[in-house]
Amino acid sequence: MSHPRPAARRFLPLSAALALALSGVQTAAAQTTLSALFMKQAAYSEADVRAMTAAFQKANPGIVVNLEFVPYEGLREKTVAAQASGGYDVVLFDVIWPAEYAKNGFLQDVTGRVNKADVPKIFPGAWTTVQLGNRYYGLPWILDTKYLFYNTAMLKKAGIGAPPRTMEELLAQARIIKQKGLARYPIVSSWSQAEALVADYTMYVSAFGGQFLDAAGQPAFNTGGGLRALEFMVQTVKEGLTNPNSREYLEEDVRRVFSGGQAAFALNWTYMYALTQDKKESKVVGQVGIVPAPGARGGAKVSAVNGSMGLGITAGSKNPDAAWKYISYLTSRPVQEQYAKLSLPIWKASYSSPAVTRGQEAVVKAAGASIGAMYPRPVVPQYQEVSTILQKALQRALLGQVSPEAALDDAARQVAALK
């Protein structure tokens, strides 16, 4: 294809739209066009998704998939805003949304389509991403949790033999690294006023054995492990162990700081590992360790947050059969094993496959312990409101505006008052 001349360039969108409309009219009978919405960051890269889709189209000549990529922060809004107009057939969704999506009828119930023989072959943590009660609203695709990444060179210089297994050890090691001047702020986290902060908090809640809601569905995060989790986070900021800029960081900022060799410890999703081993992206190639996030004395052995994502068919989709074919393909074992560098498969058997483990033995080993410990964020239809309340409360405590106890008590009151 030749490049358009500059003069013609401004007409390109119009002519492209026209061509698209015409081609849609001409080939409607022969061809099915799907629109799919993905995210730009973490897990599979845009290039990976494009490659998978190209392979799918080759294998299914009648189906064309139009891809759209948006930042995670825009994924839910895009899906929600498009559902009335039927804008997408396939959408990627986060583990925290199915309750809301199902309640409001955004996604098709695909319980009848799920192959029951596959159920035991896929991790239960992955299934919770797409399940509400005993109904299925899609297929799990990304199986993810936060891990503890550490700079092996810094730990060695500090005379530390093994990475921390508990939060208490993490604190002790971070103090040593700070004292020896190896890193000004040894820990970096994504604690911006965003979902990333709640994901981190969830991990700490799981470490300290807390819970979000009690058996009666009432807020319980302001007591016990939930409170200790926030107290721990605040303590690391007060001692100058966690980088204070964390309070404006998202995951990509954490990756940049850690990859720049400025931090000894970082909490982040699986995708960061491969990128820390890429010379173009990282100054710490060959010096990165990955282990399950620490547990806590008297709490859990390891901590983890369920950060999985699934693919579903929108309620307004006119091509559910083709859409199902597409998501079945993307979530299939061979495809997942081929692209396992940025996101680990949902299939249990994949973890012993050399195609998956080669070059990332440490990641797979950590995943072995973490996947079983993945802790869920509250499964409620008003999750967005709960999360918004929590984000503000956590930030207020992290910024030292109020005590952790006061912040969480206030948040618990607000959550309890939600209708």
Partner 1 sequence: MSRVGTAGERHAALTRGRAPGTLTRRESRVAWVMLLPVLIVVLGAVGYPLLRTLYLSFTDARLMAFTQAPPWVGLSNYAQALQSPAFQAATGRTALFVVASVGLEVLLGVLAALLLNQRFYGRALARALLIVPLALPTVVNAIMWRWIYNPEYGALNALLTQWHLLPEYRSWLGDPGSAMTMLIVADVWKNFPLVAIVALSALQLMDRALYEAADIDGAGAWTRFWRITWPGILPVLSVAIVLRTIEAVKVFDLVFVMTRGGPADSTKTLSLLVFEQGFGFLRSGVGAAYAYLVVAISAVLIALYLTLLRRQAAP
Where does this chain bind partner 1 (CB under 8 A)?
73, 77, 80-81, 83-84, 100, 104-106, 192-194, 244-249, 256-257, 260, 262, 315-316, 382, 384-385, 388, 391-392, 395-396, 399, 401
Nearer to partner 1, 103 or 156 (CB): 103
Amino acid at 42: A
Nearer to partner 1, 353 or 388 (CB): 388
- The region that residue 306 occupies, defined by phi over 0 for left and psi between -120 and 50 for alpha, beta otherwise, is beta
CA torsion sign, 19 to 20 to 22 to 27? positive
Q: What does the DSSP assignment read for 58-127?
A: HH-TTEEEEEEEE-HHHHHHHHHHHTTTT--SEEEEETTSHHHHHHTT-B---TTTS-GGGGGGB-HHHH
The nearest distance, CB 282 to partner 1, in angstroms, is: 15
The nearest distance, CB 51 to partner 1, in angstroms, is: 28
CA angle (347 as vertex; 345, 352 as ends), nearest 5: 85
Alpha-carbon distance of 355 to 65, in angstroms, equals: 27
Token digits for 400? 């030292």
Nearer to partner 1, 83 or 360 (CB): 83
The nearest distance, CB 247 to partner 1, in angstroms, is: 4
The nearest distance, CB 246 to partner 1, in angstroms, is: 8
Token digits for 8? 């013609």
Nearer to partner 1, 100 or 200 (CB): 100
The nearest distance, CB 396 to partner 1, in angstroms, is: 5
Could you tell me which residues come within 8 angstroms of residue 179 by beta carbon, excluding any fewer than 6 positions away? Answer: none
Nearer to partner 1, 109 or 385 (CB): 385
Token digits for 23? 């081609």
The nearest distance, CB 384 to partner 1, in angstroms, is: 5
Q: CA torsion 151→152→157→163, rounded to 10°? A: 90
Nearer to partner 1, 289 or 381 (CB): 381
Query: DSSP character for 400?
Result: T
The nearest distance, CB 160 to partner 1, in angstroms, is: 25
The nearest distance, CB 330 to partner 1, in angstroms, is: 26
Could you tell me which residues come within 8 angstroms of residue 293 by beta carbon, excluding any fewer than 6 positions away? Answer: 145, 146, 147, 148, 203, 207, 267, 302, 303, 304, 370
The nearest distance, CB 385 to partner 1, in angstroms, is: 5
Nearer to partner 1, 49 or 196 (CB): 196
Nearer to partner 1, 224 or 381 (CB): 381
- Specify the pairing of strand 32-39 against strand 63-70: parallel
Residue/partner pairs of 330-336 with CB below 8 Å, 24 or more apart? 330/52, 330/56, 330/141, 331/139, 331/140, 331/141, 335/52, 335/55
Nearer to partner 1, 253 or 346 (CB): 253
Half-sphere exposure of 162 (CA within 13 A, CB side): 7
Alpha-carbon distance of 195 to 178, in angstroms, equals: 29
Token look-up 């000549």 returns 61
Nearer to partner 1, 89 or 225 (CB): 89
The nearest distance, CB 50 to partner 1, in angstroms, is: 24
